[in-house]
Amino acid sequence: MPKQTSAARRTSIAGLLAATSLALALSGCANYDVTAPADARADAPAAAVQAKDTQLAAANGAKNGDGKNGGARDSQGGGQSTAPGGAGDVDCRKAKCVALTFDAGPSENTPRLLDILKKEKVHATFFMLGANHVDKRPAEVKRIDAEGHELANHTWSHQILTDIAPEEAKRELSRVQDAVRKITGKTPRLMRPPQGRTDEEVSRISKDLGLAQVLWSVTAKDYQTNDSALITKRVLEQTERDGIILLHDIYKGTVPAVPGILKELKKRGYTVATVSQLLSPATAEPGMVYRP
């Protein structure tokens, strides 16, 4: 007679399988291709490279001159870039860049986060939820945009896109597109699928909506803890050049951790950037999946 497995062991095995499935998805073993930021930059069209170099030259001229040259200023220079997503004079081909991203807001914590980012002269990418966030906090969405951060899509209600019908998945994304455009006049060009779960069908839908998909390489698992010191430690332990940091501005412990994270990243020589800055001179292509 076969040996029976205890309920506790079955639960443990189920949890392990779930974790393994997610790890496989995030490791690129799922049925989709992944492009790293460095590869995107290396494959940028010659015209985009030339435009980037011209922009950098103009920005450097403005810094070295009298400032009348209205070239693009970016978050590192204390201003807002004229380039999409704040690409500006951040050059991640040369600088040791890391992208800072926040999921699932805006929330009551977002104004304090924006104050911190403004003080530190850093721009981030905000992957926003629609229901009870974008629709309830249009003032925060406007401020995110006005202060030069990157507007991005995290679906309307955080449904797992690979688990629902294609028509429903499209609605999950398009509703956020419409809501953000109505508030800011701008339409997000980046999206992050909940739990990082995507496939060929989600990629097709994203392409149709003009959205590139952005995963991550650094997570503090701040949904598990409000310990700001632990959140800081986890981020710093995982961060490497061209990384994409995933945090949530909906949890109490996350925003208080941000000043320490930024201070130490700068101490280590990192330039903190938006996702579009990280990819520049390439532009994120709709339907593509980007992850370090």
Look at residue 9 in the predicted model and tell me its pLDDT: 39
**Are 89 and 58 within 8 A, CB to CB?**
no
Res. 3: pLDDT tops 80: no
pLDDT tens sequence across 124-155 = 999 999 999 999 999 999 999 999 999 999 99
Residues 6+ apart with CB under 8 A from 13: 5
From the list 89, 103, 222, 249, the catalytic residue is 103
pLDDT tens sequence across 56-102 = 888 777 766 654 444 433 333 333 333 334 455 799 999 999 999 99
Percent of the residues in the chain that have a pLDDT greater than 70, as a whole number: 80
Look at residue 25 in the predicted model and tell me its pLDDT: 47
Res. 20: pLDDT tops 50: no
Residues 6+ apart with CB under 8 A from 125: 85, 99, 100, 101, 102, 149, 150, 152, 190, 214, 274, 275, 276
The span from the CA of 30 to the CA of 250, in Å, is: 29
* Active-site annotation holds for 248: yes
Res. 195: pLDDT tops 90: yes
189 Cα distance to chain centroid: 11
Q: Which of 61-65, 164-168, 176-180, 205-209 has the lowest mean pLDDT?
A: 61-65
* Overall average pLDDT of the 194-209 stretch: 98
Q: Which of 83-92, 259-268, 276-285 has the lowest mean pLDDT?
A: 83-92
User: What confidence category does residue 113 fall into, taking pLDDT thresholds of 50, 70 and 90?
Assistant: very high
**Are 113 and 144 within 8 A, CB to CB?**
no
Residues 6+ apart with CB under 8 A from 130: 155, 156, 157, 175, 176, 179
pLDDT tens sequence across 212-247 = 999 999 999 999 999 999 999 999 999 999 999 999
User: What confidence category does residue 30 fall into, taking pLDDT thresholds of 50, 70 and 90?
Assistant: low
Look at residue 31 in the predicted model and tell me its pLDDT: 67
User: What confidence category does residue 55 fall into, taking pLDDT thresholds of 50, 70 and 90?
Assistant: confident
271: which 2 tokens? 């330039």
Look at residue 65 in the predicted model and tell me its pLDDT: 65
**Are 128 and 176 within 8 A, CB to CB?**
yes
Instruction: Tell me the whole-structure pTM to 2 decimals.
Output: 0.83
From the list 145, 222, 248, 249, the catalytic residue is 248
Look at residue 57 in the predicted model and tell me its pLDDT: 86
